[in-house]
A and B are shown apart, each in its own frame.
Chain A
Amino acid sequence: MVKGKINNIAVEVDEGVSILDAAKKAQIKIPTLCKHPDLPPGAGCGLCIIRIKGTPKMLRACCTPLEEGMEITTHDPEIVAVRRTVLELILSNHPNDCLQCGRNNNCELQTLVADFGIRQESFQKFLPDVPKDDSTRTIVLDPQKCIRCGRCVKVCQEMQNVWALSFLERGFCTRISPAGDIKLADSPCIRCGQCSNHCPTGSIVELDETARVWELLQDQDKHCVVQIAPAVRVAIGEAFGYPLGTNLTKKLYALLRRLGFKAVFDTNFGADVTIMEEANEFIQRLQKGKGHLPLITSCCPGWVDFMEKFHPDMIDHFSSCKSPHEIVGVLSKTYYAEKNNIDPKKIVVVSIMPCTAKKNEIIRSEEMYASGSQDVDVALTTRELARMIKQAGIDFVNLPDENPDHLLGDYTGAGVIFGATGGVMEAALRTAYFLLNGKNMEKVELNQIRGLDGVKVSEIPINGKRIRVAVAHGLNHVEYVLDQVREAEKNNKEMPFHFIEVMACLGGCVGGGGQPYGVTDELRAKRAAGIYQDDKSSKQRCSHENPFVQQLYKEFLGAPLSEKAEHLLHTHYHARPVYAK
């Protein structure tokens, strides 16, 4: 521990803690636009300058650790004046179209400018003449709004290990772009959207498809159904002032009906179906030797894209099961259509997802058209839904609670924990245990694979066998796990794991790229806690117990891994080039 004084307030922090973080302990907020709690300091913006007694220079609080006995001034007239100049310089290189910007009212730069009370443009405006890039149809890159803080580049390279984004050129012409100045769609980008989630301005935002959904809802000829992903329910409240992690499932059902959806389903139901398929797949591989072990989860589209581009040698290990929202999509246009006698061509499926990659997943291969047309028509992010609620003028906070529509709406605790890292694994093991033992686990919570450690490794005893599992989230943690598999394969040794879960985003879907801004580990933990609470309070906590899932198999699919299930609920993977051209 080191002790120091910040603005004359004594603080004590661990060694190595930056002055920026130490100041928070003294209730002082030092402004910054480039430092993000998820990322190492980039030192790009120059706003967090402070003064240390005895040092002539001003130093950056983000990358200067507090040292024993330091006396620090974070705000004095000269420091504030320099910060103001720096902010004005940023503004001179940033367009003034705040009103039409995807981050209006939610922009870190805009907020700081308002806080500083900047009322005029002191310097001549110079804007780079670079076009927007919406080639991915998921996220939109607008280099003109970029303040070169470097967060997205760090996220893409260091946190996600994708290396789609980098800086090009230098000096005043520096800009973000995929290397080689190609389109984002042709780059290694996996559409995880973490760049958009970490961008302080509107330079990278999700492709807004709310207008299309409004249109579809207006269309009397269409039968619009909707589903919400597990992680959405614990994050949407952030846009409406709820305490972090509040579970708003039932209000969301009410809301979506009021928006005009004819049926309100839940992706958690799809998750329960996924588990039925995936648990059976796992047992087949484990007991009958059909297919490769370890089995690797495949419900995260960012991860699937990453695997197909960077680790195609792992294709055989992948679960062929589709992701939960695709399952709800295809079942809506088959099972639900059949049961309610609706023309599937009229059904429109909208998915509310914490994820930008889902926008890409819905068209990723021909198997996503298993119902005969596109199984999911539109994927909206949590952020887009928040905007729709506000546009519709609905008082979300005071909505009554409602229930989902049956058939594809009821879920178990196992379905909801899909939204947090380790959840898919936990849910699958609950059902796998039942399938092997004929009874449920005594304690269904597998705490050893919950939490925010980048890689979680554990052994779960099932039927006398110790099942070795690994859970990784944040793609920079994946290689560590896969390399162990490769090493064993190369040396013909026993596999280090039987089952691996990977989620592209830190924390799993609760930390997804389409979630509300301002994500930190603390926030991820709170969102996950909301999800685990939902599980805990569920009557049924294992997917196989879901009566509607049972009914689905009885009436429609037959059994897990049946021919019909394989056709509708499973997919294939193909190696893809890292660079499209």
Chain B
Amino acid sequence: MGAKIVFIKDTAVNQDTTQDFYVHFSNILRENALEGKVQVVRVADIGIYGQGLVVKFPEENIIYANVQEKDLKNIVDKTVRDGQVIKELLYQPEPKQLRIVLRNCGEIDPENIDEYIAKDGYRALAKAINDYQPEQVIEELKKSGLRGRGGAGFPTWLKWKLTRETPEAQKYVICNADEGDPGAYMDRGVLEGDPHSVIEGLILAGYAIGASKGYFYVRAEYPLAVERIEKALKQAYDCGFLGKNIFGSSFSFEVDIRLGAGAFVCGEETALIASIEGRRGTPRPRPPYPSVKGLWGKPTAINNVETLANIPPIILKGGAWYASIGTEKSKGTKVFALTGKVKNSGLVEVPMGITLREIVFDIGGGMFSGKGLKAIQTGGPSGGVIPKEYLDTPVDYENLQKLGSIMGSGGMIVMDEDDCMVDIAKFYLGFCVDESCGKCVPCRIGGYQMLNLLNKITESRGELTDLDSLKRIAVAMQKASLCALGQTAANPVVSTIRYFEEEYKDHIVNKKCRSHKCKHLLNYNVIQEKCKRCRVCVINCPVNAIEGDKEKGFFVDPKTCVRCGKCYEVCKFNAIFKE
């Protein structure tokens, strides 16, 4: 077999250009009669970001970054044909990351089980089944200190132990792959890049708790992930890692896939169970916890994708090894989806305890806009903003919570001075209001009322009492909502008020949005000294809000103006100001 070539889109570019690249590459190979020697595979994630198109030769571990089309001929000529390294194209890796979950992403062909096996794949399963009692697996997890990566950080070993100890013949394990936070795609990265690691983790979970059946609950919006899980499951069945009497033991395990229909709340475990059972996806009160009464009323352990991908290395290398990474209470690594105004956006996996500054500046390469960092949003719609003063905070579950945010599933959005904090809060709250299941009052009505107040504030109708109302409803939502969605939906508002109350007051009292985001608070007008009287703005204004003539000059009538910004855009002389 020849070498394999793997390449990926530049995550900083919105478009996936790998298709054209793939065709071009294949053509050159064919022209050179080398198509039999190499196989070209497109992957969703290779663990390198902001480096343009990346070409990787896994066997020789040669990685080329920022590859242009013109470089392809060179690569084929030198590296493919002769195995030479082209130094100018070599990728300089980042040292700060530590890849446990993403260990195989971009290293192996995710659709080939042999490559996973070659990377110690399914060895942890063999070890567990041959050498460990299920209790010992849980014991090893306890030593590792692994906590659930779905957001709440519940100790994984305890969840498994509780499920194991519930007396019932039939038990289930579920992999929660209903990733839905805006801007977060950690689980997708793992499922598309290394599905077998998650499957192995799921089988290990089944072994540890005594379940004979597992489910993948994957959102239907991840078709490639679904396809790869399906392929991987088939391969695992063919190899005997799934099915009856795995490794000749008495342990049998089956896995099925269930697709989520797009409701964010179905990531909540009781709603997820309802959805699998074919009922309306709404949370139900706990207790009973799923570990006692879960799917079809049977004890069920539900673990997030990232949690499960951590299990095989823990079993192979030992809980103590894992516990040596991270902070006192938060062990191991965490994958973040680093996005926003940062140079290198993408998935990063870092040891717990690393500071936000290291993530944003050392790994992320700093701000891409050239403007100052204002805040970092973590935890998605359940999280909050952390202002720049706290950049040196070590990242772990407790610290983020203290700052009024949460670890969440791993979204991390970097914001600069152009980001309006009221607008950000409105965006996240709007998401939760859309996604509320409508079951309980605080979330259903509270969220809607808060969003209404934020709209009021950003549309220049705000009053100072609105801030009190926001705070009051937020408390009710946090205290009286049934599930985590409602309990945390107000967090983005609470944390922005906590750190940026002045900005809110600016909107309310001065009717000003300093980031120029809230268009109702903007004022456009003509800078007479710069204006050349060309009338382009007058012609382009959709509501005829620009009055005047060439003699007297032109003026924007604020009453007619709809703040669309067209005049600002079309003026060639920068003679329109907005504030």
Contact = CB atoms under 8 A, between A and B. Distances in A.
B371 interface: no
Contacts, number: 110
Contact of B441 (A41, A45, A63): A45
Interface residues of B, number: 33
Interface string A21-45: 0000000000000000000011111
Interface in A50-99: 57-58, 60, 62-65, 78, 81-83, 85-86, 89-90, 92-93
B445 A44 contact: no
A81 B287 CA distance: 25
Interface stretch (B22-30, B49-57, B94-102, B474-482): B474-482
Interface stretch (B127-135, B251-259, B430-438, B513-521): B430-438
A123 B449 CA distance: 7
B398 to A, nearest CB: 13
Given A65-B287, A85-B473, A126-B448, A173 B438 contact: yes
A409 B286 CA distance: 54
Interface string B436-453: 111111101111110010
A413 interface: no
Nearest to B438: A174
Nearest to A46: B480
B51 to A, nearest CB: 41
A71 B452 CA distance: 39
B494 to A, nearest CB: 14
Interface of B: 263, 280, 284-287, 433-442, 444-449, 452, 469, 472-473, 475-476, 479-482, 487
Nearest to A60: B285
A72 to B, nearest CB: 15
Given A82-B479, A150-B439, A171-B437, A89 B285 contact: no
A89 B280 CA distance: 24
Contacts of A49: 479-480
A122 B469 contact: yes
Contacts of A173: 438
Interface of A: 41-47, 49, 57-58, 60, 62-65, 78, 81-83, 85-86, 89-90, 92-93, 122-124, 126, 147-148, 150, 166-167, 169-174
Given A46-B480, A46-B481, A167-B280, A89 B438 contact: no
Nearest to B283: A43
Contact of A148 (B444, B480, B487): B444
A562 to B, nearest CB: 53
Contacts of A42: 439
B437 A43 contact: no
Given A58-B479, A85-B475, A147 B441 contact: yes
Contact of B480 (A41, A58, A64, A150): A58
A147 B439 CA distance: 10
Given A60-B482, A90-B445, A174-B444, 17 more contacts: A41-B285, A44-B441, A46-B440, A49-B480, A57-B479, A60-B285, A82-B479, A83-B480, A86-B446, A123-B469, A123-B473, A126-B448, A148-B444, A166-B280, A169-B438, A170-B438, A171-B444
For the complex of A and B, the 6 pairs showing the least CB-CB separation, nearest first, are A174-B438, A63-B285, A46-B480, A85-B476, A43-B285, A171-B436
Contacts of A43: 284-285, 439-440, 482
A85 B438 contact: no
Nearest to B452: A124
A42 B438 CA distance: 13
Contacts of A85: 446, 472-473, 475-476
B479 A89 contact: no
Q: Is the interface of B mostly helix, strand, loop or mixed?
A: helix
Contact of A46 (B442, B447, B449, B473): B442
B482 to A, nearest CB: 5
B285 A86 contact: no
A190 B284 CA distance: 28
A171 to B, nearest CB: 4
A47 B445 CA distance: 14
Contacts of A58: 479-480
Nearest to B476: A85
Contacts of B475: 81-82, 85
A64 B287 contact: yes
17 contacts: A43-B284, A46-B440, A46-B481, A78-B479, A81-B475, A82-B475, A89-B446, A89-B449, A90-B441, A92-B445, A126-B448, A148-B441, A171-B433, A172-B433, A172-B438, A172-B444, A172-B447
Nearest to A174: B438
B284 to A, nearest CB: 7
Contacts of B472: 85
B448 A46 contact: no
Contacts of A92: 445, 449
A65 to B, nearest CB: 7
Nearest to A147: B441
